Amino acid sequence: MNINERLIEAAITSRTKAIVPVHYAGVSCEMDEILEIAGRHHLLVVEDAAQGVMSSWKGKALGTIGDLGCYSFHETKNYSMGEGGALIVNHPELIERAEILREKGTNRSRFLRGQVDKYTWVDVGSSYLPSELNAAYLYGQLEAAEEINADRLRSWKAYMDALRPLQDCGWIELPKVPPECRHNAHMFYVKVKDVEQRTRLIRFLKERGIGTAFHYVPLHSSPAGTVRGVFHGIDRYTTAESNRLLRLPMFYGLPENVPVMVSGLLKEFFASQTM
């Protein structure tokens, strides 16, 4: 579900400033190729690691590989502060500007360090500081990050084991994680035949008390995307794959019997489809 690194170079124009790889489901993009292309074209790499906290690529934490990395602590993510996030600044020379943008365009961070005797407005910016109450709520989860991660991975593996026979039957397609990637079980998804089958499956599961989700209208097809974005090349996969993807229940503390129970329902659904 990640960017196809072989198609990046053809999309670069004289106005391109950065490559923004999205590490979907906490599984890393092909960073060797992306860094190499960025280096050759003098572009920044800004990792969207919103889903990738606790994931790594070749032993490096996602978000620490490019020039900048972004984490999300939105309520839908593995570690949550309600609303909030983090910018990982991997270049020392970018740190001070980041501090200023976060502090409403002021050099208040320098003032707090005693480097200036008063603070003033030196740049654009906004009020990007999370409150300490939100931060405290997040901090408890970060202290338990290993435990939370291990619990999610257990659920993920249980889904994988229970659903593999359905993949062998050709009913569904399961996620693939390249060997150099360690992921964080941000989500568990299956891919079905097409959007019609997915709609029927969502209804089937809902009638049996299981809430599932699909998500992300491909950005280039969204109202804002049609005005502000350009889809380079032919949309061979983006829309089709997004239409057949379905997320199964996945959260910290998922009851142990859920993956097997949901897999049983999927089996029942597909068996009835082929009759």
Ligand X SMILES: *Cc1c(COP(=O)(O)O)cnc(C)c1O
Q: Does 218 bind ligand X (CB under 6 A)?
A: no
Closest CA to 241 of 209, 211, 212, 218: 218
| Residue (51 or 197) nearer to ligand X, CB | 51
**Cα-only R_g, the chain:** 21
Tokens linked to 22:
């999205």
Which listed residue (85, 105, 125, 130) binds ligand X by CB under 6 A? 85
How far is residue 16's CA from residue 11's CA, in Å, rounded to a whole number? 9
Q: Give the Cα separation of 134 and 232 in Å (integer).
A: 40
Contacts of 257 (CB under 8 A, 6+ apart): none
Q: Which residue has the tokens 């983006």?
A: 238
Number of chain residues interacting with ligand X (CB under 6 A): 7
Q: Is the Cβ of residue 86 or residue 94 nearer to ligand X in the bound state?
A: 86
Position 203: which residue type? R
Quote the least distance from Cβ 3 to ligand X, whole Å: 12
74 binds ligand X (CB under 6 A): yes
Residue with smaller CB distance to ligand X, 85 or 105: 85
User: Closest separation between CB of residue 49 and ligand X, Å?
Assistant: 8
Q: Quick one: 50 or 266, whose CB is closer to ligand X?
A: 50
Site pattern 19..58 for ligand X (x: CB under 6 A): ---x-------------------------x-xx-------
Residue 208 backbone phi and psi in degrees, to 5? -105, 15
Minimum CB–partner distance for residue 172 and ligand X (Å):
23
* Residue 185 in contact with ligand X, rule: CB under 6 A: no
Nearer to ligand X, 47 or 99 (CB): 47
In terms of C-beta distances under 8 Å and separation of at least 24 residues, what long-range contacts does 178-182 make, across chains too? 178/27, 178/28, 180/28, 180/57, 180/58, 181/27, 181/28, 181/55, 181/56, 181/57, 182/55, 182/56, 182/57
| CB nearer ligand X, residue 19 or residue 158 | 19
Quick count: other Cβ atoms within 10 Å of Cβ 62? Answer: 31
Tokens matching residue 36: 């190499």
Report the nearest approach of ligand X to the CB of residue 48 (Å): 5
**Nearest by Cα to 185 from 54, 4, 2:** 54
User: Considering the complex, what minimum distance in angstroms separates the CB of residue 83 from ligand X?
Assistant: 7
Could you list the residues that contact ligand X (CB under 6 A)?
22, 48, 50-51, 72, 74, 85
